[in-house]
Amino acid sequence: MINNILITGANGQDGKIILKKLLKKRINLFLISKKFENKIQKKNIKYFEFNLNKKKKLEKFFKNYKIDIILHLASNNPGYRQNNFKKHYLENINISKNIINFSIKHNNKIKFISCSSSRVFKKKNIVNENSKLFASDFYGKFRIDIYNYLNQIKKVNKKFNFINVILFNHDSIYRNERFLLPRIISAIIKKDKKFLNEIIKENISMDYSHADDICNGLMKIIFNKNKIKNIILSSGKKTYINDLIKFLFKKNNINMKLNYKNVKKSHCVIGKNKFAKKILNWKLRKDIYIAAQEMFKIINKNN
């Protein structure tokens, strides 16, 4: 049997990586995004350019195509120091409810993979799949509310198969330039000492992975037959942004004096990935340092 798989937000970082991984599979692939820069011309790939807020277009799509599996990646993700109620809550909640409601209406046995975020936890905690949820911003609130919405549907429709995948921070050469690590790399290349010193003083730390590892985990979830409700994909360890800056300086022979004194104390949420490793036979093969250097080469080339 050939599955019909839909990926929303397919033009984003994870969508681009997963598309490459799915090309070798015997599936029919449907990709939705507001726009696509490049389109791979293959018979089993169909592209659709529209906003998921467009209810009529979305329902028409599900009427025309029977979808077996949805990987729901689409969302307005907040960049560094962004927190907008309309953009990061209202728009996101409407988009997700639209895709959930119309997909179930036309196939109540659909496998729905909802990609959540580490923003649903308190920053100071080491967490697992059963940890208490806590919204520290509008994006975290949106993710928690969608998870609760999916649970409500499951209570009514026992056949509905949803998986809540909690993704921790991950980057690659496909990461949008408005996010933190691409901005730091651009600042290094442009020798923007002011911005770099501001970042260094913040002493930011994250549970940070190479996006290729995270997308390998998502691939395994797409085709996994086990019943999974919640699953964390993370590095399982803390990475300091300041260490990444020092690494890039050394790796690329950059001489620039920055102020590493009087930095703030740093806390972050760290995700335990033991369950994912066991049930998916998932392994971390790369790390954020590899991703940072790959990104440096691309950004440096384009400047």
pLDDT digits (tens, 9 = 90+) for 82-91: 788 788 899 9
- Angstrom distance (rounded) from CA 216 to CA 214: 5
Asked whether the predicted pLDDT for residue 124 surpasses 90, the reply is no
- Of residues 24 and 114, the one with the higher pLDDT is 114
Mean pLDDT, the chain, rounded, equals 94
Beginning with the edge strand found earlier in the chain, give each strand of the sheet holding 161-167 in spatial order: 45-49, 28-33, 4-8, 69-72, 111-117, 161-167, 230-233
Residue range 55-65: mean pLDDT, rounded: 95
Write down the pLDDT at residue 75.
92
- Angstrom distance (rounded) from CA 95 to CA 55: 9
Query: Beta 111-117 vs 69-72: how paired, if at all?
Result: parallel
Write down the pLDDT at residue 1.
59
- Angstrom distance (rounded) from CA 42 to CA 87: 34
Angle between helices 288-302 and 241-251 (to 10 degrees): 60
Write down the pLDDT at residue 101.
95
Where in the chain are the domains?
Answer: 4-170+211-233, 180-206+238-269+285-302
Query: Beta 205-206 vs 239-240: how paired, if at all?
Result: antiparallel
CATH code matching the domain that covers 4-170+211-233, chosen among 1.10.10.10, 3.30.70.100, 3.40.50.720, 2.60.120.10: 3.40.50.720
Give the 3-state secondary structure of residue 165: strand
Write down the pLDDT at residue 290.
98
**How buried is 148 (Cβ within 10 angstroms: 0-12 exposed, 13-18 middle, 19+ buried)?**
exposed
